């Protein structure tokens, strides 16, 4: 991946962007400078809110509503984007510089066929006839390894899978052969197994067509596979910029080092007594269906006291449904469940209050799981009153204990969820679950929506809480890193069935079941060259 010196495609100098919050303007991009040559890929990493997308969009001369450029320059080829009228900037978009969004599902218009959306810019402004544009699209579909490239474009967005749609968006960006493409977290919404396919396709077209690219991501392992250089953004500033190999091996800035450290979270020692501990929950031959569609079949599962069982699999594999069945939110269609030796009634309504107390659930998105109009005190206080019968001073005392347990303090009790950060919100959701005094907590992707740094803190806290309180976790996740960090045992699901389960060390050590093998092999290594090896292995 050598880059020969050539004139800059993009030159950003001391860019400053302000965003309007309530009545005042505050700077969200503070003097960013970047430059890109032909065929070069620049990784832009950082946590959410660091200003990655804002900088990426500025490369298209585009500012989101409520934002304005207050200084600096953005030079694309020979054009100063901030100096020309919007109408001229508009004409460059799609033809000279293109954008690939995070969620292709949302970024494609549901009412138009893929071919129409992909070829539109080329026909309108790219100077191609419809037939020529379609021919080029088919060539791109082939290069992107989409199935049945001749007829792929005739479909509507909802008729193709998420990974295919993401590749179709890459084709849409490439249609006019732009000089620069901005990839904004293009694989974040995908499963690991799908992510590999999309990464391979993106790498292939970047190299084949020699386009320059900005690749925005928060996943360092991904950026290591794609980028030549990496710029680390924090609070709207570039804290470090270096070639990929050197920044992976020797991150210099303390913030970069902390990002890197998070990625190498130590694996926990599986509870030694995990296997021998008394069973808290045991499930036999459980099934569930939506209408006639079988989402779960033949599930056998056992969770011991004080044990963490990680449930992994792709989206749609039935992990969350299994969690909901155990929590009583969805009735199973068959099978048997024992909780602490007694039959677990299938429906929520049939479960006595004390049983509800003993099984709690925490959701992926604390944003939607917490009532935005209730204070933290009301949110956490409610289960204290309902399950523990605590009133007045006793409840307040317990409330503060719980907030401390999740590393918040009494000053947070008065706040509304909207006044908390993403990580704090999830901590409140955890405190609410703990307030009931549960024995089993179902954690449904509770760290997926969080940044890596916050995620690591929350995971450490969860491990600590388990040791102190002796609760069991059913930890639903698609992130193998998380599994390594927290699980005692691992259950792998695919198409509503369990394909493998066992002690973590055994499941993660070869030989694997074929699906587990594919899942593990799809997780990018935190090292340059991992994708090259995957590609080489496929060619061989």
Partner 1 sequence: MNRTSHPILSMVASRVGLGLLSLLIVSLVIFFSVSLLPGSYASAILGQNATPEAVAALETRLGLDQPAIWRYLSWLAAAATGDLGQSFAGRPVMAVLGPRLLNTITLASITAVIAVPLAITLGVICARFRGRFIDRFLSTSTLASISLPEFFVAYLMMMIFAVKLQWFPSMAGIRNSMDLGEQLYRMVLPILTLLLVILAHMIRNTRAAILSVMSSPYVEMARLKGESEGRVVTRQALPNAIGPIASVVALNLAYLISGVVVIEVVFVYPGVGQAMIDAVRNRDVPVIQACALIFATAYIGFNLLADIVSIVSNPRLLHPR
Which stretches of the chain bind partner 1, using CB under 8 A? Answer: 57, 60, 62, 64, 90-95, 98-99, 101, 103, 106-112, 120-121, 124-125, 155-156, 158-159, 172
**CA pair distance 387, 103, nearest whole angstrom:** 41
When the beta carbons of 111 and 343 are compared against partner 1, the nearer one is 111
170: Cα within 13 Å, side-chain hemisphere:
32
Q: Are 19 and 25 in contact (CB under 8 A)?
A: yes
Residue 107 C-beta: closest distance to partner 1, Å: 4
Return all residues near 371 (Cβ < 8 A) that are at least 6 apart: 378, 379, 417
When the beta carbons of 157 and 323 are compared against partner 1, the nearer one is 157
Residue 164 C-beta: closest distance to partner 1, Å: 12
Residue 245 C-beta: closest distance to partner 1, Å: 32
Residue 148 C-beta: closest distance to partner 1, Å: 15
Residue 121 C-beta: closest distance to partner 1, Å: 5
**CA pair distance 137, 39, nearest whole angstrom:** 21
Residue 49 C-beta: closest distance to partner 1, Å: 19
How far CA 280 is from CA of 275, 299, 329, 339, 361, in Å, comes to 12, 16, 19, 6, 16
Q: What residues does 343 pair with on adjacent strands?
A: 338
DSSP state letter for 329: S
When the beta carbons of 111 and 539 are compared against partner 1, the nearer one is 111
When the beta carbons of 106 and 394 are compared against partner 1, the nearer one is 106
When the beta carbons of 124 and 252 are compared against partner 1, the nearer one is 124
Written as one string, the DSSP assignment of 377-431 is HHHHHHHHHHHH---HHHHHHHHHHHHHHTT--GGGTT--GGGS-HHHHHHHHHH
When the beta carbons of 155 and 203 are compared against partner 1, the nearer one is 155
How far CA 465 is from CA of 132, 217, 321, 441, in Å, comes to 62, 31, 25, 11
Residue 284 three-state SS: strand
Helices (H), 4-159: 52-58, 86-92, 104-107, 114-124, 130-143, 149-152
Residue 9 C-beta: closest distance to partner 1, Å: 18
When the beta carbons of 19 and 408 are compared against partner 1, the nearer one is 19
When the beta carbons of 52 and 425 are compared against partner 1, the nearer one is 52
Distance of CA 485 to the CA centre of its chain: 17
When the beta carbons of 6 and 109 are compared against partner 1, the nearer one is 109
Q: Are 119 and 134 in contact (CB under 8 A)?
A: yes
Residue 205 C-beta: closest distance to partner 1, Å: 18
Instruction: Give phi and psi for 472, each to the nearest 5.
Output: -105, 145
When the beta carbons of 159 and 350 are compared against partner 1, the nearer one is 159
Residue 354 C-beta: closest distance to partner 1, Å: 44
Residue 101 C-beta: closest distance to partner 1, Å: 6
**CA pair distance 352, 357, nearest whole angstrom:** 9
Distance of CA 508 to the CA centre of its chain: 22
């Amino acid at each position: 991946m050598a880059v020969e010196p050539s004139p800059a495609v993009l030159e950003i100098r001391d860019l400053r962007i302000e965003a309007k919050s309530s009545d005042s303007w505050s700077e969200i991009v503070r003097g960013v400078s970047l430059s890109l040559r032909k065929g070069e890929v620049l990784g832009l990493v950082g946590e959410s809110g660091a200003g990655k997308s804002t900088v990426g969009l500025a490369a298209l001369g585009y500012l989101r509503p409520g934002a304005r450029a207050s200084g600096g320059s953005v030079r694309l080829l020979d054009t100063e984007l901030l100096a020309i009228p919007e109408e001229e900037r508009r004409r460059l978009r799609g033809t000279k510089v293109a954008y690939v969004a995070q969620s292709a599902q949302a970024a494609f218009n549901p009412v138009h066929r893929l071919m129409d959306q992909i070829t539109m810019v080329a026909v309108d402004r790219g100077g191609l006839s419809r037939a020529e544009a379609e021919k080029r699209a088919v060539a791109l579909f082939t290069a992107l390894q989409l199935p049945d490239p001749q007829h792929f474009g005739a479909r509507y967005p909802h008729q193709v899978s998420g990974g295919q749609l993401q590749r179709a968006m890459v084709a849409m960006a490439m249609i006019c052969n732009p000089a620069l493409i901005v990839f904004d977290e293009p694989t974040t919404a995908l499963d690991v197994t799908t992510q590999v396919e999309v990464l391979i396709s993106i790498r292939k077209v970047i190299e084949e067509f020699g386009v320059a690219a900005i690749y925005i991501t928060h996943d360092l392992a991904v950026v290591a596979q794609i980028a030549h250089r990496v710029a680390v953004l924090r609070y709207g500033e570039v804290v470090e910029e270096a070639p990929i190999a050197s920044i992976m091996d020797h991150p210099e800035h303390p913030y970069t080092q902390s990002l890197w450290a998070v990625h190498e979270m130590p694996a926990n020692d599986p509870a030694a007594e995990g296997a021998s501990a008394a069973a808290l929950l045991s499930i036999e031959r459980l099934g569930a269906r939506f209408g006639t569609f079988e989402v779960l079949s033949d599930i056998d599962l056992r969770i011991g006291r004080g044990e963490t069982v990680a449930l992994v699999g792709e989206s749609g594999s039935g992990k969350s449904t299994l969690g909901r069945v155990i929590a009583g939110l969805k009735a199973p269609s068959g099978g048997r469940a024992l909780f602490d030796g007694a039959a677990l009634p299938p429906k929520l309504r049939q479960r006595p209050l004390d049983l509800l107390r003993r099984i709690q659930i925490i959701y992926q998105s604390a944003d939607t799981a917490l009532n935005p109009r209730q204070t933290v005190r009301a949110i956490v206080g409610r289960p204290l009153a309902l399950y523990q019968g605590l009133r007045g001073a006793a409840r307040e005392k317990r409330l503060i204990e719980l907030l401390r347990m999740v590393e918040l303090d009494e000053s947070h009790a008065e706040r509304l969820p909207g006044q908390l950060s993403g990580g704090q919100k999830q901590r409140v959701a955890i405190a609410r679950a703990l307030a009931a005094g549960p024995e089993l907590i179902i954690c449904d992707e509770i760290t997926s929506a969080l940044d890596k740094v916050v995620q690591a803190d929350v995971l450490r806290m969860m491990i600590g809480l388990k040791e102190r309180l002796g609760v069991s976790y059913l930890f639903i996740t698609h992130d193998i890193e998380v599994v390594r960090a927290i699980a005692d045992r691992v259950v792998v699901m695919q198409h509503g069935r369990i394909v493998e389960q066992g002690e973590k060390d055994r499941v993660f050590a070869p030989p694997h079941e074929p699906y587990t093998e594919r899942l593990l092999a799809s997780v990018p290594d935190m090292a340059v060259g991992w994708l090259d090896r995957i590609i080489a292995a496929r060619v061989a």
